[in-house]
Amino acid sequence: MNKNNYKTLLFLITMFSVQIWVIKLSLASIAMIGFVFSSLLMGNFYKLPILIYPIGLIAILSAFISNIPFHPDQLQYSPWFAVLVVILWVFYINLSFNIRGILNDKLLIYGCYLNIIFCIVMIAFLTPDALISQVDGQVGLFNEKGLAGYYLASISCLLISLRRSWKEVLTLIVISIYVLFILRSGRSIFYYMAIIFLYVDKISISNRIYLALIVLALSLFIGSTEFASEQFYKIDLLMTGEGGVGRYAAALIISLQDTFHLLMGNGFGSYLSYRAHLIPLEEGLLYDYPGSLILELVFEIGIIFTLFFLVGFTKFVFKRISLILFLAILLLCFFGGKQDVQMLSGLLVAQYIYQKINYKYFPKIS
Digit-coded pLDDT (tens) for 140-166: 999 888 899 999 999 999 999 998 888
pLDDT for residue 65: 86
Alpha carbon distance 211, 194 (integer Å): 14
What's the pLDDT at 310? 96
Question: Exposed (0-12), middle (13-18) or buried (19+): which is 232, by Cβ within 10 Å?
Answer: exposed
Q: Is the pLDDT of residue 25 over 80?
A: no
Percent of the chain residues past pLDDT 70, beyond the cut: 85
Helix axes 79-98, 30-42, angle to 10 degrees: 50
Q: At what angle do helices 145-162 and 166-177 cross, to 10 degrees?
A: 170
Please say if the pLDDT value at position 209 is more than 70: no
pLDDT at 353: 94
Tell me the pLDDT band of 223, cut-offs 50, 70 and 90.
Answer: low
Cα distance between residue 104 and residue 102, in whole Å:
7
Query: Which of 334, 361, 322, 108 lies closest to 198, judged by CA?
Result: 322
In this prediction, residue 170 carries a pLDDT of 94
Residues 197-225 have a mean pLDDT of 67
**Residue partners of 88: CB distance under 8 A and separation at least 6:** 32, 35, 36, 338, 339, 341, 344
Q: Which amino acid is at 217?
A: A
159-194: pLDDT as tens digits = 999 988 889 999 999 999 999 888 888 888 889 989
Q: Is the pLDDT of residue 229 over 90?
A: no
State the Cα angle at 151 between 1 and 285, rounded to 5°.
120
How far apart, in Å, are the Cα atoms of 170 and each of 156, 160, 337? Answer: 10, 10, 32
| pLDDT for 72 | 62
Q: Comparing 114 with 255, which gets the higher pLDDT? A: 114
The model's confidence at residue 126, banded by pLDDT at 50, 70 and 90, is very high
Q: Can you give the C-alpha Rg of the chain in angstroms?
A: 20
Q: What is the pLDDT of residue 180?
A: 87
CB under 8 Å, gap of 24 or more: what pairs does 175-179 form?
Answer: 175/116, 178/152, 179/148, 179/149, 179/152, 179/153
Mean pLDDT of the chain: 85
**Averaged over 25-29, what is the pLDDT?**
77
| Cα 265 to Cα 71, 118, 314, distances in angstroms | 22, 42, 21
Asked if residue 227 has pLDDT above 80, the reply is no
pLDDT for residue 262: 92
Confidence of residue 76 (pLDDT cuts 50, 70, 90): confident
| Closest CA relative to residue 307, chosen from 299, 316, 298 | 298
The residue type at 244: G
Could you give the 3-state DSSP secondary structure of residue 320?
coil
Using a cut of 0.85, tell me whether the model's pTM lies above it. yes
Mean pLDDT of the 125-139 span:
88
The pLDDT tens digits for 237-293 are 555 556 667 788 888 888 888 899 999 999 998 898 888 888 888 777 788 888 899
> For position 164, what pLDDT does the model report?
83
Q: Are 141 and 21 in contact (CB under 8 A)?
A: yes
Report the C-alpha gap between 94 and 43 in whole angstroms.
Answer: 8
Sign of the alpha-carbon torsion through 338, 342, 345, 350: negative
pLDDT of residue 34: 92
Q: Which residues contact 324 (CB under 8 A, 6 or more apart)?
A: 197, 200, 201
> Burial letters for 241-265: b for 16+ Cβ neighbours within 10 Å, e otherwise?
bebebbbbbbbbbbeebeeeebeeb
pLDDT in tens, 321-353: 999 999 999 999 998 889 899 999 999 999 999
Give kind and range of the element (H or E) at residue 58.
helix 52-66
Do 198 and 328 meet the contact criterion of CB atoms below 8 Å apart?
A: yes
User: Which one has a higher pLDDT value, 234 or 162?
Assistant: 162
